[in-house]
Structures are given as structure tokens and as C-alpha cells.
Structure 1
């Protein structure tokens, strides 16, 4: 027999709004240290990531530094038309895509391979020493790295070319030939970032169930088979997430690396979006053009992130959202 519930009983059984509010306040007070710790990164993102978005309006104005953003004349898409009409625009976009795609092809797999190799080491002290040595280049300024590169690969007086000359061969134009410069650029980037990039993958490797390796030992699997069938599938989701994030920066390139390593003889490849924005915005005071380039760069990066995330989910991966 169906019995109807008394509305008064239903109301009484449910916690009152005042009680729910008290519970929330109690939860906040109980974990106030965690919320205080979260306050600093939240303030960082608000101050340095969201507040500067107001400056995007410069891309749509004839910006005058004395009149400010609000006082400058609105010109709509004229800055973008002027930007796209520049012959240098297509050169810097091409160079940025080229260098980033080469970095994606060579620099992205490097920390994965390095992390797997470190994970296979069994001597604890050697493993820790190797990790420390591999992490160090990440903390060296690109200005210092640029100086080291010139000392190593300079056409006259460089350590490598001195060795080549002592063997009876002619100097190799590492820094003045475009193709050689790209190889030096890529190699330096791998050396600087590969060790630091292993941290995430080493952390992911610790989450793989050790019983899988023990079972593979019973089956007689060698190291290569363990890596292929256990290690790589175990960190596949991490690799996919990192790849999506890397694709999101396909149009974003650091300023220091191409600026320090570039020279007038290789500007056909060394002139990228970041150096173009620096020269147009700071050296030539074309703030509106530089902002328009930055906004274009951000929109293309957003498209790449959404596209890569969608493709990853189509293949059954988790993605980043």
C-alpha cells in the first residue's frame, strides 16, 4: 500500500539552509591553511594573466602612448589588415611554425626517451647523479647558453672548428649557414630542456603497477618488450596531455633563444614572432601592430589546443578537459 510522505516530515528531514551554511563556513575554517595557500596562485593569475587582457583593445585602436588605451582612436580591424599586408608577417609565421614543428618532432620525444632510460637504471647513486646533471641546463640563462654556443661553434676560434681545423679540414659554418644554424638551434634546445622535461614522465612512471613487470619477468619478457608493452602504455595519457599542451604553443616561441642565437646571416630562419613583436613594439613603437600579432598568435594557439584535444578524445584518450 502506497503511503504518501507528509510534506512537514520531508522538510524536517532535509537540512535547513542555515545548517548548510554553517557546515560550509566550518569547512572553510577547518581548511583555512589550504585556502590561504591557494590565494597566492589565484592572485598571480588574476594580476598577470587576466588583468593584462584589457590591453588586447590596443590591437583595435590607433594607440597613442600619451592618450592611453581609452583615449586612443578606435580603428577596428585596420591593424590586422596592415599586419597581414606585410611581407615580413608571412616570413615570421613560417619560421615560427617551422622551428616549433621541428622542436615538436625532436625535442618532444627526448624527455620521454630520457625518462625511460633513467627509469631502467638500477644503481641508485648513479641515477640520482645523472638526474642532477641533466636538470642543470634548465637553470642556465639563454644569454649564457648563447655565449657557450658561440664559443663552441664560432667559425673562427670556436672549439669545434679548431678541432676540425687541426684534423686538416675547413671550418664548418655552424652559425652562418641557415641549415647548420637550425641544427645547432634544435640541438641546443634539446640539451637545455630534455632533462627538466623528464620530471613529469618520471612521476608518471612511478604510477605504473610493479606487478606488471613481475608478471612479465615470469613470462620471460626482455627489457625492450617491457618498455613497449608496459612502460609506454602506462604513460600514454601523460604523453597525450603534454602533446596537446605543446600543440597549444605551436605559434608561441620564446624570445631569448632565437634572439640570442640569431644573427643577420640567418635572419631568414631566426626572425620569429617574438622577435618581430619586440622590434615592432619596442624598437619601432608600433604598439598596435605588435598587439595585433600577439592576439593572432593566441587565437591560432587556442584553435590548435581545441583541435588536438578533440582528436585525442576521438581516439579514446582523456584530453585536458
Structure 2
């Protein structure tokens, strides 16, 4: 009798109502693949972007980019994983919202015994995002100042702790005083409530008119222009998400007028495409967590059957820290 696995699938783009749960066939891994049984699945904004069609995909398609569990079977040519091993990943193609799946092995990472499945599923995509923002996008050094939007979210709380561990001053933004307090508790030097304060004015005040070295902006349309105005001359704008919609078109000459600014739009999956880089990024993240420099906050849990509610909560910014799904 053929095995199946409960899996979240979309047949059309749209709101949370398009999310369907069905039993999908589960075969054995082919060359370069593994079959992994999930203990916990992660929830991320990229899942919403794929659901609504901002990041197009061929339909029907399973959703989810992040999970942790146990390797059930290993295909030919896979040498870094073995049957029964604990593992976690943030990887394409989508399909992590499931009880189990067969997938390419290259971006699946051996999971240290000291890190729980829950923590791993909550941190792989978010933590490796912080890793590339701080170590692979533009040189950052102790004493630099960074403006980080959505500082109380899953990526943000990791970034606050990461910055503090490396002597980087992080100025966060968040939408409530409670979220600002959470960001500061986790290492943000300052946090600005963007609903009650003008974040550009506050950044100018905090930096004594100098501006910040780097902006890390996952919000997009609502914050993009203001973010540019927070940079010091020769500063770097890292736009890495679109939570409020796509950023507006810009006149590249504006970057010169504002002080020879630099801008980039990186993605995590460009970095993860290289197997060796992916594994190195994961090891650095695991080291931060095992060393106690970064603690993973799981503030919301949903059973897989309630995935639509989970996505609504994330989409409407009703969450803090990370959210996980339990298959």
C-alpha cells in the first residue's frame, strides 16, 4: 500500500481560503534526495507571497519552505545525511507544510542534538537570513549602526540578538510599544514605534544627524523611501522583503543625490543554492544558538489544520517572534 502524507496545497492564488489539505503520495527518494518525516514546520512571509502570487509558482503546488524532523530514507549519492538522523532545512522547492516529503538533499542540514525540532523549524529560514544579512551582503564591523524594520518579528528578534553578540548597534522599528520593548529586551539598542513616531526623525535624533551605516528592510513599500533617508553617505540599503507590498520604482540618480548610497535586493535562496555555503551558514547559526547568543522565540503554535489562521495572523502583523505548525 502506497504511503501518503498530509500536505497543504494551493490550486489557485488568493487569500488564506485557497489553502487545502490533502493526502499526497509519498514515495522513496531518488538520487540526490532524502525523505524526511517532519516534527515541526515553520511559517514565513515567503509562504504568503507564494500563496497570493507575488512569487509565481506552477499550480497546483504544496507550500512551506522550512521544517525539521528525522531522515527516513536517503537516495543514491547523498553523503552528508543518513537514515534516522535529525535534520532541518530552509529550502526550495516549497512543500514543507506536510507530515513528510521527498526533497533534494543538498540544502537539508544535520541538526545538532542540543537544538529542538521546534526551535530548528522556527529558525532555519529566519536565522540564515540574518546570517547572510550580517555576514554576506555588505561588510559589517563592531561599532556599526543598523536600522532594522519589524524588529519584533521572527527574523527581527534573531537580528537583535545577533547584532548585540557582535557589537553592532541595532535600531529597530515595530508597531506597538510592547513589540518595541520585546526588541529591546532581545538586544536592540533603541526601538521606534512607527505608529506613534516618525522613524526618520527618530533615527536622525538617535544618530546625532549622521544616519545609519545599513538599513535592513523587509517591509517594502511603506518604509522604503524613509529607509533611504535614514542612511549616512555611502550607506547600504538592503531591501529583503515586501510585507507591505513591492517597493516603488526609483530613479537611480536619487542615490547619488542622497550621498552616493548603495542598494541591493538579495534573497536567501541565492546563497543556499551552493551546498557548501548553505551548510556553513547553518553551522554558524547553530553555533549562535548552542552558544546561547541567540534564543529562538516561538510565540505562536498552530496545528497544520489551522494553517489558514496562522497565515492570517502573520499577514496582519498579529504575531511576535516565530510561528510554527504542528503536522
Q: TM-score range by the shorter chain?
A: under 0.3
Of structures 1 and 2, the larger Rg is shown by: 1
Q: Which has the higher contact order (CA 8 A, sep 6+)?
A: 1
Which structure has greater strand proportion? 2
Structure with the bigger percentage of helix: 1
